[in-house]
Amino acid sequence: MSAIAKSIPKQVKFSTLSQLKQHAKDITQPTPQPEYKFGKLSNDQKAFLDRVIRVDQAGELGANYIYAGQHFVLSRTEPQLKDLIQHMWDQEVHHHNTFNKLQAQRRVRPSILTPIWKVGAFGLGAVTALISKEAAMACTVAVETVIGGHYNDQLRVLNTKFNDIETTEVLSGKDETGSVISNEVTELKDIIKTFRDEELEHLDTAIEHDAESAVPYWLITDVIKLTCKAAIFTAERV
């Protein structure tokens, strides 16, 4: 061993490694969660959650059918897009299934216009795909822009209007229907955030695939955006 190596104390020689190990240990240790007791949701909060689940289930059903319509046409006319459309469609199927489960868990009644959403959405996907692949992508831009914004609006309410459920007065984390309130709201927020990010990925994908070359781009996207907003307004209520 050289004189220089001998002169370095052991703890100095291995300090970087031990620091890394400690750091790895720190980040793998679960952070202890504070224990909260949760109060009951107000009637307004319950009504809001029901509305969120009803409209999101209907919206994801719509998205599922739009991509089904696009896939039906584009897999034949633009086979190079088949896998891409399938990938986005698979994500929409997952979104739709997730809200189906939430709807069953919370016993939220579905939108009574469900058959109309299915036919309208499949038609929208298929017709824009028949016009051109750019028109199909412009449709995706319009739909995902509206859905992304809609999810952000819901997150804003969930972040601001549900904070008062923390309380020391109520003794358990259950309300009278037996649902665990705190986890329910937290999980819903996580789901919406994840789906919002995936919708915005779909939006980026559509831009990358020449959505803005659709003719007339602004007319197609504006009409579809208005249609989506009207559908959201309706599905929240009926």
Task: Please report, in range form, the residues annotated as the binding site for Fe cation.
Answer: 60, 92, 95, 144, 199, 202
Name the residue nearer to Fe ion (CB basis): 54 or 202: 202
Q: Compute the distance between CA of residue 206 and CA of residue 147 in angstroms, rounded to an integer.
A: 14
Q: Applying CB under 5 A, does 134 fall inside the site for Fe ion?
A: no
Per-residue contact string for residues 9-48; x = within reach of Fe ion by CB under 5 A = ----------------------------------------
Q: What is the footprint of Fe ion within residues 54-113 (CB under 5 A)?
A: 60, 63, 92, 95
Nearest Cα to 199, choosing from 109, 94, 127? Answer: 94
Residues with Cβ within 8 Å of 124's Cβ and at least 6 positions away in sequence, in order, are 66, 69, 139, 224, 227
Q: Compute the distance between CA of residue 185 and CA of residue 49 in angstroms, rounded to an integer.
A: 9
Nearest Cα to 151, choosing from 207, 85, 208, 200? Answer: 200
Residue in 150, 196, 202, 209 binding Fe ion, rule: CB under 5 A:
202
Residue 128 corresponds to which tokens in the numbers above?
Answer: 């824009």
**What is the size of the binding site for Fe ion (CB under 5 A)?**
6
**Smallest separation, CB 177 to Fe ion (Å):** 28
Name the residue nearer to Fe ion (CB basis): 134 or 199: 199
The residue to which tokens 């992304």 are assigned: 148
Binding site for Fe ion (CB under 5 A): 60, 63, 92, 95, 199, 202
